[in-house]
Each structure stands twice: as structure tokens, then as C-alpha cells.
Structure 1
């Protein structure tokens, strides 16, 4: 059967191979999945030209997914190091990679990633435009912006971040409501600059139908970027952020009319007590579309530890509706992350995602924890390591500090509560003082 996009197929009651793969992974009924894709509440980013894609679903009732950002910059332009990050991220079961390369001819990097990447791949085409044309931002034309988007679709990119909600009205609102950190979105700030320097409307807002035509052609999901996301807790839930969110909701309905899948991007930096309300606002204003958050970081004072501030916010956000977490590394705000930074960021985000899945009752989420708890009660160290989110680190700790008795650890020794309960309940002698 012929269909243009995953959403088009879903509306026609067609079950695609990608839907079958996602339903199997999530252990849910494929017909339920199809209906939610048709409604836009689940997105399956799957560009027709991404031939080695192992499809994932993002949205209502599914496991919370994580994304890993990487890519070359002018100061750090070692392509092989970034490709090694891709390989490690895939080994660590990241569901998505975003190539945020912003230096030189990034097409080569993008194609190399696609060659080795079964995870869904995202990009921000405006990052590519300056290098692609080798001309200053101000001088890039509307047609040239859209040609870059078309190239990303042709190459096989599964989802693209487009800051279409930053229109002239939003810009004027931003000027009237000054923030501590202004616009912290890199793509958003570039569009803001282009609009101001040329005194023109945002081309992706003004010509949104042209964007939809390209996305429909390749079945590229639009990740509607939050140019006005808060970059500090002071700026959270302000008029600029909410105005843009309202616009993104309107654009979402237009995209769905063309059978283009949508993900909504969200904050940012945000105090703990604002997160739940923000998740509700997004789901209400954007009609239940999947929500993708960067963090949110719950305090601004922990450079070097922002994988922790982000994981705290991410767990709460996903509990109350976020479907997709963009990882944050210890290097956030400081430098391009190295391989170790990336590993730390992935683990922190996976902890947040899984903790939220338990809280929101995702099917099977608790089973993993119950298996770990049983292994702990049984003092079965090998099973504990095998079940661990990161098997390497706990095994390393165990080997670095070997207890006298193998059924305990060096913190509690023979006073280990698990050891005590196991022996007493089995009718064995406890012998704490005797060998």
C-alpha cells in the first residue's frame, strides 16, 4: 500500500513495519500504537532514506526516550572523535542522536553518522547553513534556508529542529519583557539575528507550508524548537516562553493536516515547583503532541554537575508528561563534551527516564527493579552487575574493595542486613564475631 508518512499510514489504518517494530519493543498492542500515531500523540521519526534505522516511538504510554547531542565545532573539529561518541552512545542504547555540527561542510559528518547509526538521527539545519553556503548569516536567502532543509531530508535525517514559533510578534514580546539570559537557544538566536538584520519575518514561520512539503516528502518529523526556552530559572514560564508555546500548538495542527509528525521542544532551566504545570501546559496547548525537554535544569549554580541538575528535572518532567529527554553532560555551559562526559550524561538521563517510567506506570518498568532487588536479597553479585544500568562501574567498585567474606561488601561486612536476613530466615547460624 502507498502512503506518504507514518501518520498518513496510521490514518489510513495501515500498520507499517516501523509500527510493528515499536509495538514489539514496547510490548503494546500495535493497533493502539497506530491509533496514537494517527492522533499525533506518538511520533515514529523514520526518514524514508535512513536505511539502517531501528525505529523508536516517542510519546504517550511509551518508555521515556533519551537523545545524545554531539558534533564538530570550529574549536573541536575531530570528526573521528565524534564518530566514536556515536558508536559508544549506540552501545549504551541511546534511542536518538543529534548531530549539532556547526563548522565547515557538515554534510560529510552527517552522512558518516547515518552510515553507522541505527538510532533516529536529528539535526538543526540552520547550524549547517553558514558553512554550507560559506556566507554570513545575514546574506543567506529564504530559498537557501529551505535548500538546506531539503538536503537534510535527502540525506536521511529523521527529525529536524526548526524554530518556527519565533515570529515577529514573539520578537517584539521578547523586547518588551527583558530576560536575564535573553535567547539561549543557538538556533533561536541565529534566527533572531537574521530577522533583525534583515527586518523580515522568520522564514520558517512565514513559509511553514513549504517546510511541511519537504518533511512530507521524506517523512521527516518536525521537532518544533523552543527558541524562547528559559536559559535560567529566573526566565522560566514567562510571557515569551508561553507565547511561543501557543504558536507551536497552532503549527502542530497545521503539520498534522499534512500528515507530518511533530515533537514539541521545551525548557530549559526551571525551578522544581514549576515543572509539573509546564508539562500540563504543553500537553494542553499542543494537543497531546510528544514533548522533548532539555533537562530541565533545576538550579543554575552547578557548572560541572549539570548532568545531575538536569536528571533531577528530567525525572520530574517525564513523570508529568515529557516523553523525550535530551541528555545534559557535566560539560554543559563549559566545553564540548568528551567521551567520558558523554557517558556520564547518558547514564544520568537514563536514570531520570527510567525513574519516571516507574512513576507513570510504563508497562514492565518495575520488573527490572524487582529483579535487581531479588538479586540483592540473594546476595547474587553477578546478577546485580548484569542488571545494572552501567555494569562496568559497580563491578569496578566491587573489585577495588574486596570484602573478607564474599556474601557481603566492605561497608557492612558480616553485619550486612541482606546477609543477616538471609541466614536467619534460612535457619542458619549468624556468626558475626566468629569466622
Structure 2
């Protein structure tokens, strides 16, 4: 039996090769995964043209996934450096990579990234529209917008961020409800400007069926972008954000009728006490579609440390139902991230995702922690290093401060509680 997308296959009861791989990774029965995909609660972003992909599932009952952003800009256009980041991201077990290149002809980098990446690849076609069409923003036509999406599909992009919920009605709400930071989404601001300059409706909203045609053709997952995500904690959960979210819920149902997979993107910046409610709102208003959040950053005053402020929010979001976390680096709000910035962001968000999985009871999530705890109780340093989320840093710290007795560390020495209990319970001599 033929099928067009992973969702189409699931509705027809067909277990695809990608579903078999994901079910095995997630310790989930194939029939259970099939049902979740058919309902739209799980997606497997897997473009038919991405041949090197090792597929992952995103959504209800699955491990929380993390995404890494990279790409060239006008000020930093070193393609080789960005490809180094791709290699590092894959080595560090990230689940997705978004190429957010927004300068010049981005096709060469995108094709290289897709060709070498086992992780799913996402893009924001709006970033590429000006360079691809070689036009000023105001002069772009409806055909220009969709030509870029088609090209990204041909190249093998697995999911695309499309800000289709920013329609003229949402724009009215923005104007009538002034924000502290207005629109902070790059793609959203460009679309808003195009709409204002041309006095036209958002092409991705007005011609949404045309977008669905392209996504169905290549099995691209639509990541419905939150153009109106809050850019500071003051703007969180306001009328603008919720207005767009309601529209995204409507667009989700339209996509599902066409068997197009959907994720919903969310905040942004948000105080701790608002995160849980926002996760519930998204799941309710968008019918259980997987939720993809940036952070959220829980305070606005820590430039240089925003990987920490965002990971705090990310852990709470994941524990409250978010399915996919977009990492934030220490360089957020300051510059294009370096490789070292990227590494710190990945580690912070792998911690956040895992902490969220423990809290929401993902099958097997605690096994890793229990293995580490046993290694600590046994004073088995090699086992601790092998289990550490960053083995290199753990080894480095121990090597930099070597204890007199190798079964201890330099914090407690022979007064180490693990050493004491191990010796006492084993009826060994205790010499402190």
C-alpha cells in the first residue's frame, strides 16, 4: 500500500522503516507509536530526500529532544566553521540541527549540512527568501515565498518553521496591545514588515493549502512558528501570543486533514510560574500536537549566561509537557555562537531535557541516573566518567586536583561518605 507521509502511513496502519527505528529507540510498541502519529501527537520529521537521516520521534510519551541552531550571517560567513559545528552537534548527540543561514546563497551550506547529518534538519525559508530571489523584502511576491519552500524541500529539509499564524487579524492585535519588545522573531518581523509594506495578507496564511501541497510532496513537517513569542518576561502570555496560538491550532487541524505532520513553536521568555500553564494552553489549543520551545528564558538580566536561564525554563517546560527544546547558548543576544558556546548550550539543554524526562516519567529515564549513583557508591571513577553527560570535563576536573588516596576526591579526602560507608558495610578497617 502506498503512502505520502508518515502520518498518512500511520492512518493506513503501515509501520514505516522510520517508525520501526523510533519505536526501538523509545522502547515503545510499534502499534502505540502508530496510533500517536496518526493522531498528530507524535511526528517523525523525515524528508524523503534526506538519505543520511537517523530518524527521531518528537511528541507525547517520547524522550524530550533538543535542537541546535547554526548558520552563516553577513558578519560571520565562514562556512567551514559552521560545518565544524554540525560535526560537533552530531558527536554530542543532538537530535536536530536548524540551519538559520540568512546571508547570500545558502544552498551550498544547506546541502552539505543535510548530506552529512544523521540528525533531522530544520530551516526557516523566510530567512532565505531575500537572498534566494535576489530581491528587496517589499518586492517579494507570493510565488517567491513558495519557491524557496519548494527548494528547501527538494534539498531534503525535514522540518520548516513557517510563521503562518501571523495574519492581518493578529497584526491588528499587535498594534492595539503594545509590547515592551514588540516582535522578536526574525522571520515574524520580516513577514510583518512585508505585510505592512504591501498592505497584503501573510502569504503563508492566505495560501496555506499551497504550503501543504509542498509539505505533503516531500513529507516535510511544518513547525508552525510563533512570530509573536514573548521576547521578554513582561510580554509573556499576553493577548498577542494567545491570539496567534489559537490560529496555530486551527492551522494544525487543516494540516492533519492533508496528512501533513505538525509541531507548534512556543516561547521565548517567560517567568517560572507561567511555564506550566503555557504548556497546558498549547496542548489544549493545538490538539496535542508536539510542542517545540525556545528555552524559555526565565529572566532577562543574564547576558553571557542565557544558556542557564533558558535551561532552567527548558527543564520546567519539558516536565510540564514540552516535547522539543531549542537550545540557547551563552552568546544569546550578544553574537553568533562560537563552537565553545555551542558546546555549553548543548550540555545545558541535554541536562534540561533529561531532567524533564525524569519528571514526566519517560520509560527508562531514571536508569542512567541509577547507574551513575551506583558508580558513585562503589567509588568507580571510570564508570562515573563513562556515564557523565560530559565525560571530558569530568576527567579534566579530577585530573586537575588529584587526591592523596585515589578512592576519594580532594573535597572530602578520607572523610568521604561513600568511602566510609563502603568500608563499614564491608567490615573493612576504617582509617580516617
Q: TM tier, shorter chain?
A: over 0.9
Aligned-pair CA distance for 1:430: 1.2
Residue aligning to 2:129: 129
Answer yes or no: is 1:218 the counterpart of 2:235. no
CA deviation string 1:343-370 (max 9, x = no partner): 0000000000000000001010000000
CA deviation string 1:272-319 (max 9, x = no partner): 000000000000000000000000000000000000000000000010
Q: Matches of residues 214-253 of structure 1 in structure 2 within 5 Å?
A: 214-253=214-253
Q: Matches of residues 259-408 of structure 1 in structure 2 within 5 Å?
A: 259-408=259-408
CA deviation string 1:372-412 (max 9, x = no partner): 00000000000000000110000000000000000000010
Q: Matches of residues 21-36 of structure 1 in structure 2 within 5 Å?
A: 21-36=21-36
Distance 2:339 2:256 in 1: 38
Secondary structure of the structure 2 residue equivalent to 1:82:
helix
Aligned-pair CA distance for 1:429: 1.5
CA deviation string 1:176-231 (max 9, x = no partner): 00000000000000000000000000000000000000000000000000000000
Distance 1:114 1:126 in 2: 18
Secondary structure of the structure 2 residue equivalent to 1:299:
coil
Distance 2:77 2:430 in 1: 60
Residue aligning to 2:197: 197
Distance 2:362 2:368 in 1: 12
Aligned-pair CA distance for 1:134: 1.5
Secondary structure of the structure 1 residue equivalent to 2:292:
strand
Distance 2:423 2:249 in 1: 59
Secondary structure of the structure 2 residue equivalent to 1:245:
helix
Distance 2:125 2:84 in 1: 23
Residue aligning to 2:105: 105
Question: Comparing 126-135 with 258-267, which one deviates more in the overlay?
Answer: 126-135
Distance 1:257 1:186 in 2: 29
Residue aligning to 1:81: 81
Residue aligning to 1:163: 163
Q: Matches of residues 4-15 of structure 1 in structure 2 within 5 Å?
A: 4-15=4-15
Residue aligning to 1:17: 17
Secondary structure of the structure 2 residue equivalent to 1:51:
coil
Aligned-pair CA distance for 1:428: 1.1
Distance 2:391 2:2 in 1: 45
Distance 2:204 2:341 in 1: 34
Aligned-pair CA distance for 1:28: 0.6
Aligned-pair CA distance for 1:144: 0.6
Unmatched 5+ residue regions in structure 2? Answer: none
Alignment RMSD (CA, Å): 0.4
Stretches of 4+ moved more than 3 A in 1? none
Secondary structure of the structure 1 residue equivalent to 2:56:
coil
Distance 1:393 1:364 in 2: 25
Tell me the TM-score normalized by structure 2: 1.00
Distance 2:381 2:112 in 1: 40
Residue aligning to 2:118: 118
Distance 2:431 2:6 in 1: 64
CA deviation string 1:40-93 (max 9, x = no partner): 000000000001110000000000000000000000000000000000000000
CA deviation string 1:233-271 (max 9, x = no partner): 000000000000000000000000000000000000000
